[in-house]
Amino acid sequence: MAQRTPSAPSRPQRGSSASGARLWTWLMLPGTLWMTGFLIASLVLVATLALGTTDPLGNPRFGLNFSNITALADPAYRIVLLRSLGYALIACVICLLVAYPVSYAIALHGGRFKNLLIAAIVVPFFANYLVRMYGWSVVLSDGGPLLRTLRAVGLADGNTKILQSGVGVVAGLVYGFVVFMIIPLYAALERMDLSLIEAGRDLYGGPLRTFLFVTLPATRQGAAAGAVLVFLPAMGDFVSAQLMGGPDQIMIGNLIQDKFFEGQNWPLGSALTMLMMAVLFIGMLGYLRRTRKDEAEATQ
Amino acid sequence: MSPEAPPPPTRRAVLAGAAATLGLTLAGCGFLPEDRNAFGDPDKPIDVKADGDLVYFNWADFVSPAVFDGFEKEYRVKVIQSNFDSMEGMAAKLNAGNRYDIIFPTAKWAQRLAAGRRLRRIDHSRLTHADAVFGRYHYFADPWYDRHSAHTVPFTMYKTGIGWRKDRIGDDLAGSWNDLWNDRARGKVFVLDDRDEVLAMAALKLGLGIGTSERHDLDRITATLQDLRPRLRGFSSDSYNNLLNGNAVMTQAWSGDMAAMLGQAKDPSVLGFEVAREGAPINSDCYAIPANARHPGTAMLFIDYMLRPANVRKNIEYIGYPMPVGGSEDVYASIVKPFPQCLVTPDDLKADLFFRNTSPKGEQARDTAWTHVKAG
């Protein structure tokens, strides 16, 4: 499908330009150090701490203690983990449905306003996530503008609520992360060869058939990338459930946050984090295999 | 054409990288046992004099700006402010080696910090106004969290009760934690998003100790809270906004938040605050000087300055919390006239419903109970 995927960079001939290679090695150094220091080291820290204990001051201490791992068998975590998976998946699907028309309209019909329109979507997302979510919780609150309007036109009664419900949490997640879906979709649609659509029309495909069999498959990779970018943070999010959820909408991120703050139980929090990462990693494996297959097809 | 790829790293480079990672991991954390005075000698007497700018670390908005101004002018020092938003956050900053001159832990955290030799000893005889505190509020002369208040001076006090909207569910509640089960409030009740407060509420209702970590007690507490859960709208410590914007008609609430609402609500008469007869958890913050403070002398001057009657008055008016300083009671009483239950009296202190530290095992048991309450 994606004929324009560039072929993988070829390996330089050994010895062809040793000084050039050394230069690139040095240029990689800061980034590598940064990643080592702040990403890998902290991950190692979390993994190690999952086996730790706490001292009487509540400070975490390294150790070799498997009680945090066995504590994960508690059914409470399974329920919350499954709920988080569910919310993240629903948020992902809604983001896709919301983002596709937006990206499509901007990429194919945006004309000279393309960049302006993308900026109009991206700039509000520079505002702090927490602040935006607080704003959102005011909009959705019982006395907020949305419900007041709905009540005025008779679509809601005094007991209707959006906050502290699953709808509220998913709405928060969609609002929080939809831009991560729009951008890769926009990039994919923008990059797409428009003559493909014309070809589809030439072969007597109606608008719908052309969209389904030409445009959609051509932007599949963008959608997949967007799905991953939305799914991962949505799964670990705790702000949406905190501000817009009730007792039955707690997500795994809330429990992890609780362990680190409320209970001062960093080791158990670390174990929960590792559990969540394991679940996400299994999900990612599917995505990675899929993209590898796509690439293999493309280079054939 | 893409840039040339670098040559594959040698095995030695990989090993060096792995070692560097491990080193960074270990260096970046204070999770290994440390020596007794790693954070400085807590017992060295403090020379009470201005020895530099005051590095101040507290909740946001907890001291009147006018009081800061006065202190800066009088002692010709600057107050360098930073804020925390939870005790855990404060502890994390201290553990990371940040150096502050004055911090404001709650009683429970003061005990933890003092036990960990992290607080400088405070000689009360060097504070001119100490008697208004310890002479009037005997409780603080030898509190459970710090023998003889050797490392702390109490700052504010607060308790936990129930706040509600009179315009939605009426004026009169029963004055009991059972009110949270009130049918008129069903579906619009919040409890605090705070493990100790929520477990304590159920414990008081059942007549158990608020800090219990007994398996049997915790099972009963969890069952009671599971019974409340279907009536709850959520766990939230933002009582202030929840009550004002109408998401809550009733909420477990801290007295300080209710006092703050009196100043902010368009019509405070629609709000009520009661304290349950089964008991109200009580808590206090205190002044403390970290063992590694750079300017402990200035910190001592600051504590004394804060205790001057005029400044106590200004601060109480500004933050809406009562302080255990003799002679300031009438100021607070006039602020919270509609909510007299916000007052914290020496008798309240005697009831001693403080949240205390438990053993790591006990903490774990309480933590598990809280997870079950929250996750359902």
Classify the complex by whether its ipTM is higher than 0.85, answering yes or no. Answer: no
Q: Best of A48, A59, A266 to disrupt the B interface by mutation (most B CBs within 10 Å)?
A: A59
Cα angle B306, B311, B314 (rounded to 5 degrees) comes to 130
- Separation in Å, CA of B175 to nearest CA in chain A: 25
User: What is the pLDDT, as a whole number, of residue A225?
Assistant: 92
% of chain A exceeding 70 in pLDDT: 93
Task: Retrieve residue A279's tokens.
Answer: 């679940």
Q: Which residues pair with B254 in a beta bridge?
A: B160
CA end-to-end span of chain A: 11
Looking at chain B, which runs of residues are DSSP E strands? 54-58, 79-83, 102-103, 152-165, 189-191, 232-235, 250-254, 271-274, 282-288
Q: For the whole model, what pTM was predicted?
A: 0.84
Helices (H) and strands (E) in chain A, counts: 15, 2
Q: Could you read off the pLDDT of B348-371 as tens digits, one per residue? A: 999 999 999 888 888 889 989 999
Whether B245 and A142 lie within 8 Å, measured CB to CB: yes
Cα separation of A240 and A234, whole Å?
Answer: 9
What integer is the mean pLDDT of B162-166?
Answer: 96
Smallest CA-to-CA distance from A96 within A177, A5, A193, A4 is with A177
User: What is the pLDDT, as a whole number, of residue A82?
Assistant: 94
Whether B371 has its CB under 8 Å from any CB of chain A: the answer is yes
Phi, psi of A160 (to 5 degrees): -65, 135
Q: Best of B247, B249, B252, B373 to disrupt the A interface by mutation (most A CBs within 10 Å)?
A: B247
- Separation in Å, CA of B75 to nearest CA in chain A: 35
What integer is the mean pLDDT of B245-270?
Answer: 90
Kindly tell me if the per-residue pLDDT of B1 is higher than 60. Answer: no
Kindly tell me if the per-residue pLDDT of A204 is higher than 90. Answer: no
Q: Could you read off the pLDDT of B77-113 as tens digits, one per residue? A: 999 999 998 888 898 889 888 999 999 999 999 999 9
β-strand pairing of B54-58 with B79-83 = parallel
Provide, for chain B, the percentages of residues in helix, strand and coil under a 3-state DSSP scheme, each rounded to the nearest 5: 45, 15, 40
Cα separation of B71 and A99, whole Å?
Answer: 56
Cα separation of A96 and B188, whole Å?
Answer: 34
A263 closest CB neighbour out of B22, B29, B370: B370
